[in-house]
Structure 1
Amino acid sequence: MYSVEWQKRGLPHAHIPIWLLNKLHSNEVDDIISAEIPDPVTDPRLHDIVTTQMVHGPCGALNPLSPMADGKCTKRYPRPLVAETVTGNDGYPVYRRRSKEDNGRTIKVKVQNQEIEIGNEFTPYCPLLSRIFETHANVESCHSAKSIKYLCKYVTKAATWLCWYCVGKCE
């Protein structure tokens, strides 16, 4: 099951749920999904891909031109820094995002002609997909029936509309 949408710039945007054969536990999430800036010494290629393609922001007070509503980022960034990945109350994991003091990495980004140091609170990605496609690819791990129901409903909404549209026009 998948859904392809077209963005304003004419680029495709796909939603593809993938069901795993075995349940993914909180301690295994970090092997598939990371929310930390990769080490530029041990993996310079992944570091370059993530820092150029996967960093959201900065937003909020750091960048007033970012998409915001009521003074907050519409994508809920910056995310909280946590030492270990845990499953949140809504069924989505709260990814490990270590602070600079807890061995987390930071990068400098340029915003409105000034350099700002940001950390892991702006970075989610899948190392495997990032290496393969070298592009922006969001990945979420869903652990509850509520989150899976939402995802399936979201993915199939375009197909439902397309079928209704086709039936209405084809008669």
Structure 2
Amino acid sequence: MYSVEWQKRGLPHAHILVWFIDKIRPEEIDSIISAEIPDPSTDQLLFDIVTTNMIHGPCGTLNSSSPCMADGKCTKNFPKDFTNDTVTNVDGYPIYRRRNPENGGQSFIKNIINTDIDIDNRWVVPYSPLLSKTYNAHINVEFCSSVKSIKYICKYVHKGSDMAVFRVENTNVNAPPVNKNDEITLYQIGRYISSNEAAWRIFGFPIHERDPAVVQLAIHLENGQRVFFTNETAIDRAINPPKTSLHF
């Protein structure tokens, strides 16, 4: 499932949600998603791509004017903490491995406002080495390890266009009344569409898609499903009921 949206400068980007048939085991995450700077001696191409596209900021005390700063703090919670191993089951998302330079992690020098800053794994945005080397672009990849995060992700993917809500009213007492509950009119006058998005829609390019479009969920009502068992399997069926699409 994906949707395409536009930033304020008109740059398009996509939010993509992928379900896997086979579950990803915790020990497999590091081979799919990385939050570390690659070793340039073994993969110079990936090192160049990551250091160019997948480094956050830096912000905070190193750059207080960074656009991610709000009330003196980074809204993306950077820099992250160092950790030697990937940890799952934390707020629906893993804590990715970020080794410090003394423990095998890489670092490089980045010039920020005419100042050379040592960048380490604490500033790396999680990425997929395969996708990064394929597209050579900023592609943030995250692993959703909890069903509790699915609702938020689906809402975020379909959060809709940016809004600029405003109203101009006539203060003349003799003016006709304004219907303040006209949601259709408020939506039309407040929707923010850049010229790039307008051209995208005029040419009929896809905005969103889901495949399959409809997913059938096995919803069982009370006393409304059949259970087959024998005298030998009755206890096992009661303790271990068959899994359905709504069973986690």
TM-score by length of 2: 0.63
Q: Percent same amino acid at aligned positions? A: 58
Query: 2:230 maps to what in 1?
Result: none
Query: Which one of the candidate residues 139, 144, 147 is aligned to 2:146?
Result: 144
Aligned to 2:13: 13
Q: What residue number does 1:155 align with?
A: 157
Distance in 2 separating the partners of 1:70 and 1:132: 37
CA RMSD of aligned residues (A): 1.9
Judge conservation of contact 2:89–2:145 (CA < 8 Å) in 1. Answer: no
Q: Could you say which structure has the higher helix fraction?
A: 1
Extract unaligned runs of 5+ from structure 2.
162-182, 189-248
CA shift for structure 1 position 3: 1.1
Contact 1:3 1:158 survives alignment (8 Å): no
Structure 1 residue 89: Cα displacement? 2.4
Distance in 1 of aligned mates of 2:14 and 2:153: 12
Match of residue 96 from structure 1: 97
Summarize deviations over 1:74-109 as a string: whole Å, max 9, x none: 111101110000114201000000001111011111
**What SS does the corresponding residue of 1:149 show, helix, strand or coil?**
helix
Q: 1:88 to 1:77 in 2, by over 3 A?
A: farther
1:101-137: CA deviations, max 9, x gaps?
A: 1110111111111101010011121101100100000
Question: 2:133 matched to which residue of 1?
Answer: 131
- Tell me whether 1:81 sits opposite 2:64 in the alignment: no
| Bigger RCO of structures 1 and 2 (CA < 8 A, at least 6 apart) | 1
Partner SS, residue 41 of structure 1: coil
Q: How many residues align?
A: 164
In 2: Cα distance, 1:50 partner to 1:77 partner: 17
Q: Do residues 49 (structure 1) and 53 (structure 2) align?
A: no
Tell me how far apart the structure 1 counterparts of residues 139 and 145 of structure 2 sit (CA, whole Å): 20
Tell me which stretches of 4 or more aligned residues in structure 1 moved more than 6 Å. none
Larger radius of gyration: 2
3-state SS of the aligned residue for 2:158?
helix
Give unmatched runs, 5+ long, in structure 1. Answer: none
